Amino acid sequence: MRRFTTLTVEWDGAIARVTLNRPERRNAFDDRMVTELREAFEDLAHEPSLRGIILTAAGPVFCAGADLQSMQSAMPILETPAMRDAHHLTRMLRTIDESPCPVIARVQGPAFGGGLGLMAVCDIVVAADDATFALSETRLGLIPAVIAPFLLRKAGESFLRRYGLSGETFCASTAQRFNLIHDVVPQSDLDDRIAELTDAIMRLAPCATRESKSFFHRMILLSDKERMALGPESNARARCAPEAAEGLLAFVEKRLPSWARPRAQKQEQEALTSDDVVLRRT
């Protein structure tokens, strides 16, 4: 793994934690941070033991979007370098979006502009109940055009037209209503909720999880007819794989499957008992 100056990458077993680390600049993107985020997620995509990624931030702010001081120092800017910067940001967001493993965003404090783009490309987003959000680009004479396709897919057209055309700051409950975030918890409970989610991921079959994420991505680009054809094909391939044989045998034998980690044992045994009760009742 490469060394970075604007972020840190740490490992906890098979879970990686990527931390935005420019708290003095409110974790705003400059060119270096955009490059390093892309490089970090590219490196992690090639780690065969990786099971999940937590994207978090140092300090009281998750991400203030673009580094406006850096942008202003480059003014006036020509269209060619401006286009290069936009493609650079798009490539970084796509790299996170296409990460083969689940990516969980841990959001505290404000998340503005490009910070919403980061949230939109994560699979699961957990936010503190006092976090605040804004599509603030139009306040500055800019357009949220790079992050808009990801936000459209995640939160929908109504969200974009409401908050992209007002620039208003909104709260965590509003963000949850538009599916931009999934869980809202008190600030003091953020780490506990993240731990619960990583424990859940560690109970999943690694290959099946990667294949599921890939399948979900592919479905978006397909017609209804193509989706209907792809579903049975992917289902059958998974049933014939070694993980399915191990998972079903472990269920019958009331034990943890080989891929589950010890810290997930209590929850897994409870789940197995619960599932067995349901099956015996049906």
CATH code, domain with 254? 1.10.12.10
In one-letter notation, the amino acid at residue 102 is P
Provide the domain count of the chain: 2
Q: In the block, which residue shows the tokens 């090639």?
A: 46
Tokens for 56?
Answer: 């978090």
- In a domain? residue 43: yes
Instruction: Indicate whether 136 and 227 sit together in one domain.
Output: no
Q: If you average pLDDT over residues 42-56, what whole number do you get?
A: 97
pLDDT band for position 80 (50/70/90)? confident
pLDDT band for position 277 (50/70/90)? very low
Residue percentage of the chain with pLDDT more than 70: 89
107: three-class secondary structure by DSSP? strand
In one-letter notation, the amino acid at residue 137 is E
CB 136 within 8 A of CB 159: no
CB 5 within 8 A of CB 33: no
Instruction: Indicate whether 252 and 119 sit together in one domain.
Output: no
pLDDT, tens only, 141-196: 999 999 999 999 999 999 999 999 999 999 999 999 999 999 999 999 999 999 99
Instruction: Indicate whether 15 and 153 sit together in one domain.
Output: yes
Instruction: Indicate whether 130 and 96 sit together in one domain.
Output: yes
- In a domain? residue 190: yes
Mean of the per-residue pLDDT values for the chain?
Answer: 90
Instruction: Indicate whether 159 and 248 sit together in one domain.
Output: no
Q: Answer yes or no: is pLDDT of 262 > 70.
A: no
Q: Answer yes or no: is pLDDT of 47 > 70.
A: yes
**Residue 84's CATH number:** 3.90.226.10
- In a domain? residue 192: yes
pLDDT for 278 equals 43
Instruction: Indicate whether 80 and 118 sit together in one domain.
Output: yes
C-alpha torsion sign, points 202, 208, 210, 214 = negative
Q: Please state the pTM of the whole predicted model.
A: 0.89
pLDDT, tens only, 122-154: 999 999 999 999 999 999 899 999 999 999 999
- In a domain? residue 1: no
Q: Answer yes or no: is pLDDT of 266 > 50.
A: no
Instruction: Indicate whether 143 and 222 sit together in one domain.
Output: no
In one-letter notation, the amino acid at residue 49 is S
Instruction: Indicate whether 223 and 270 sit together in one domain.
Output: yes
Domain closes at, from 148, 166, 200 = 200
pLDDT band for position 2 (50/70/90)? confident
pLDDT for 264 equals 43
pLDDT for 281 equals 39
CB 129 within 8 A of CB 239: no
pLDDT for 81 equals 80
- In a domain? residue 170: yes
pLDDT for 69 equals 80
Q: Give dist(CA 183, CA 128) in Å, integer.
A: 9
Instruction: Indicate whether 196 and 219 sit together in one domain.
Output: no
- In a domain? residue 17: yes
Q: If you average pLDDT over residues 237-259, what whole number do you get?
A: 94
pLDDT, tens only, 209-224: 999 999 999 998 899 9
pLDDT for 74 equals 63
Instruction: Indicate whether 18 and 131 sit together in one domain.
Output: yes
Tokens for 98?
Answer: 């296409």
- In a domain? residue 24: yes
Tokens for 75?
Answer: 């003014």
pLDDT for 221 equals 87
- In a domain? residue 2: no
Domain closes at, from 155, 180, 200 = 200
Instruction: Indicate whether 162 and 264 sit together in one domain.
Output: no
Domain closes at, from 171, 200, 229 = 200
Instruction: Indicate whether 131 and 241 sit together in one domain.
Output: no
Domain residues for 94? Answer: 7-200
pLDDT band for position 60 (50/70/90)? very high
pLDDT for 68 equals 78
Q: Which residues contact 152 (CB under 8 A, 6 or more apart)?
A: 160
